[in-house]
């Protein structure tokens, strides 16, 4: 290890006037400058992945090293390419929803919501209020579980095992609620165009309230073990820096963009699902390094918890309200009616056989997913299957900044930087 790491480990961070941990000054001089000339002249190629636990999936990185310093990073993708966008062109809009489960498989419910919103924008449908509240709950539950996975796995990458157990314990509680609601832990397929697959079951609200009440304790524990931890600070502060201009230029979104100090959150700036009526804050970083990404994600979980609390209050005021639009062309009639009423049966038949037909046109709908802005872009020619279904994949675009961040970093920092991007290869490769 270079001298820099030793300096950091010995430094004990204090608190500044605002109560935040003081930044540990980095060792002076360019990184890797202490290498011997003869040794530094030799370049080495190191291959990481595609099967490597620290690449968070089947990502393959080819690193050009000079000593321990990364001169160039060449990512290779596509090992998990499934052709979802092509498959979507052969499916009705509702049949695409199961495909979205499998893209970003750490937040399937939020993907389902995004797809339903995009299709509804294309068709000009406004869903009822209870549906909107349920979708907000789905999105924020997804944000919490996705960030918990990020936190746990990044902790493991940097040598901290305990927070992984804490975060996965909490994640399990949300997964149990998710299973209760949708019957699935991973492939939720929660929404339908114009509504939801199901309303929340008996006991769900009490379970989620219990989670919302007790979850901040875990966040506090994680905060205690990480935020002022000299090893964590040493591995994350000043590593993988992207300035605000760079973050915008690289089209980053989500926590990656906000950690660089850009105040942009789709929920605030292009509100959907009545997000403008919820009271929550958007955390913004200052330095754009891994530490700021950690702080932003940690705070986002606390804010999601706040939103969940407010959404639960609204939900209890909307008991028995409809969750689907009242339009038999879009929403399947109840099975009992389809079996006994001729008209309902015809609607059922037409929807299942022909699908829902949007008008010709196109729509782009971006939502704030845990990873960043997830956009669905539909082009319709008036038939029941889209001409083009494009996923704007936040992980893919965020990952494209990896070579930039890795240049000049140490080999061990590449693992930390890659972890901080929060990729999920199912979405990168689609």
H or E segment at 163? Answer: helix 162-182
What's the min distance (Å) between Cβ of 315 and another protein?
Answer: 29
Buried b (16+ CB within 10 A) or exposed e, 95-121: ebbebbbbbbbbbbbbbbbbbbbbbbb
What's the min distance (Å) between Cβ of 157 and another protein?
Answer: 23
Nearer to another protein by C-beta: 35 or 364?
A: 364
Nearer to another protein by C-beta: 130 or 392?
A: 392
Instruction: Judge whether 67 and 40 are in contact, CB under 8 Å.
Output: yes
Nearer to another protein by C-beta: 164 or 377?
A: 377
The per-type count for the chain, helices as H runs and strands as E runs, is: 19, 8
Candidates 313, 351, 318; CA nearest to 332 is 351
CA distance 75 to 395: 13
Query: Which residue do the tokens 């909307």 mark?
Result: 318
User: Given the rule CB under 8 A, which residues bind another protein?
Assistant: 43-45, 47, 62, 64, 72, 74, 77-78, 81, 83, 85-87, 90, 121-122, 124, 246, 248-252, 262, 264, 269-270, 361-364, 366, 373, 375, 377, 379, 381, 387-388, 390, 392, 396-397, 399-400, 404, 429-430
Nearer to another protein by C-beta: 166 or 396?
A: 396
Interior CA angle at 108 toward 104 and 112, to 5°?
Answer: 110
Nearer to another protein by C-beta: 49 or 163?
A: 49
CA distance 103 to 125: 25
What's the min distance (Å) between Cβ of 223 and another protein?
Answer: 30
What's the min distance (Å) between Cβ of 109 and another protein?
Answer: 23
- Please state, in angstroms and as integers, the Cα–Cα distance from residue 285 to each residue in 18, 241, 298, following that order: 14, 11, 12
Nearer to another protein by C-beta: 220 or 245?
A: 245
Nearer to another protein by C-beta: 160 or 397?
A: 397
What's the min distance (Å) between Cβ of 270 and another protein?
Answer: 8
What's the min distance (Å) between Cβ of 393 and another protein?
Answer: 9
Candidates 313, 317, 297; CA nearest to 420 is 297
Nearer to another protein by C-beta: 207 or 355?
A: 355
* Sheet architecture: strand order including 43-48: 43-48, 60-66, 69-76
Q: Kindly write down the DSSP assignment for every residue of 214-274, as one continuous string.
A: HHHHHHHHHHHHHTT-HHHHHHHTTSS---HHHHHHTT--THHHHHTT----HHHHS--TT
Instruction: Judge whether 192 and 117 are in contact, CB under 8 Å.
Output: no
CA distance 276 to 268: 6
């Amino acid at each position: 290890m270079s001298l820099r790491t030793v300096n950091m480990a010995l430094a004990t961070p204090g608190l500044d006037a605002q109560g935040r941990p003081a930044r540990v000054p980095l060792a002076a001089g360019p990184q890797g400058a202490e290498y011997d000339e003869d040794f530094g002249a030799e370049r080495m190629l190191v291959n990481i992945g595609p099967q490597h636990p620290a690449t968070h999936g089947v990502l393959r990185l080819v690193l050009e090293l000079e000593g321990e310093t990364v001169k160039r990073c060449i990512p290779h993708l596509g090992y998990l390419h499934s052709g979802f966008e092509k498959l979507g062109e052969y499916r009705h809009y509702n049949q695409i929803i199961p495909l979205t489960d499998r893209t970003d498989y750490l937040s399937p419910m939020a993907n389902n919501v995004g797809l339903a919103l995009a299709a509804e924008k294309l068709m000009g449908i406004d869903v009822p209020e209870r549906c909107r509240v349920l979708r907000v709950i789905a999105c924020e539950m997804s944000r919490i579980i996705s960030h918990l996975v990020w936190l746990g796995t990044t902790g493991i990458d940097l040598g901290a095992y305990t927070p992984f157990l804490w975060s996965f314990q909490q994640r399990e509680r949300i997964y149990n609620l998710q299973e209760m609601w949708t019957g699935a832990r991973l492939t939720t397929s929660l929404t339908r165009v114009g509504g939801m697959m199901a309303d929340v079951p008996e006991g769900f609200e009490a379970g989620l309230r219990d989670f919302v009440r007790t979850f901040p304790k875990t966040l506090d524990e994680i905060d205690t073990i990480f935020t002022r931890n000299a090893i964590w600070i040493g591995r994350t502060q000043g590593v993988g820096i992207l300035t605000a201009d760079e973050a915008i230029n690289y089209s980053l979104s989500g926590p990656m963009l906000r950690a660089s100090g850009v105040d942009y959150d789709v929920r605030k700036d292009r509100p959907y699902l009545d997000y403008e009526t919820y009271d929550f804050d958007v955390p913004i970083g200052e330095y754009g390094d891994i530490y700021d990404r950690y702080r932003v994600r940690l705070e986002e979980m606390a804010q999601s918890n706040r939103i969940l609390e407010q959404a639960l209050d609204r939900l209890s005021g909307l008991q028995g309200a409809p969750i689907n639009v009242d339009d038999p062309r879009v929403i399947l009639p109840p099975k009992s009616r389809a079996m006994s009423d001729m008209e309902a049966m015809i609607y059922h038949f037409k929807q299942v056989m022909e699908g829902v037909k949007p008008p010709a046109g196109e729509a782009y709908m971006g939502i704030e997913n845990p990873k960043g802005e997830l956009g669905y872009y539909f082009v319709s020619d008036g038939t029941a299957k889209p001409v083009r279904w494009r996923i704007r994949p936040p992980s893919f675009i965020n990952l494209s900044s990896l070579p930039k961040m890795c240049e000049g970093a140490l080999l061990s920092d590449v693992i930390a930087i890659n972890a901080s991007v929060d990729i999920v290869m199912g979405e990168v490769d689609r």
